[in-house]
Amino acid sequence: MEAKNSSQARIIDAATRLYAEEGFDVPLARIARAARVSPRALGSASTLRKRVFAAHFGGRWKPEWDALLRNRRIALQKRLTRFYSEYRGNITRTGARLWTRAGLLGMHEKGNFSATLNKRLLVPIAQELRHAAGIASRKKVGTREIELVQALHGAIAFPHTRSHIFGMDVYGPLPDLVAMMVRVWLPGAKAEMRRLHGG
């Protein structure tokens, strides 16, 4: 059993590395050689891709983040800074490149990633932004509000894109950059949320 687990770990490691650096069309035979296993041990290409994604992204969301984002005893600025520092804090070069390549192939859409992102992250933040802006609305969060939150979400994601995808410099540790982006975004986001609601 231990030998099987070891071979499975080698398969996931080899597939992840090759997919991230060269794309998802790497031949299975090459992955098998890198993992030192028979090609039969890999299964199909689509199954292997799913296994790689499950290994790297399947358990990334922490249940305590749901409570953190809605905890109004903590100022919204502090909540967002803490959440995004943790949420983006363990992104590696391999993970970033794997995620980006999958996006270019439409794999996130097929996996219902956008719906999950909206439900767990963008909508809750928009609702908390409404509250921070003094808006007592029970209306469903609209697309313009989602885009308003995406402005922060995308800005915080971009340092990893610059570093791991483009090979560009990033100036400062992630927690400091997150704190800066939240400070810059929040006042304008409150004003824009009021404008969207007719204030």
Give, as one character, the DSSP assignment of residue 123: H
Q: How confident is the model at residue 199 (pLDDT cuts 50, 70, 90)?
A: confident
Q: 60-196 domain in CATH 1.10.287?
A: no
DSSP assignment of 14-70, as one string? HHHHHHHHH-TT--HHHHHHHHTS-GGGG--HHHHHHHHHHHHHTT-S-THHHHHHH
- Condensed to tens digits (0 to 9), the pLDDT of residues 52-88 reads 888 877 777 899 999 999 999 999 999 999 999 999 9
Q: Where in the chain is the domain with CATH 1.10.357?
A: 60-196
Q: How many Å apart are CA 108 and CA 18, to the nearest integer?
A: 19
- CATH numeric code, 2-55: 1.10.10
The residue type found at 113 is F
Query: How does pLDDT run across 71-130, given as a tens digit for each residue?
Result: 999 999 999 999 999 999 888 899 899 888 888 887 776 656 777 888 999 999 999 999
Q: What is the mean pLDDT of the chain?
A: 90
Q: What 3-state DSSP class applies to 135?
A: coil
Predicted local confidence at residue 5, as pLDDT: 64
CATH code 1.10.10 region(s) in the chain: 2-55
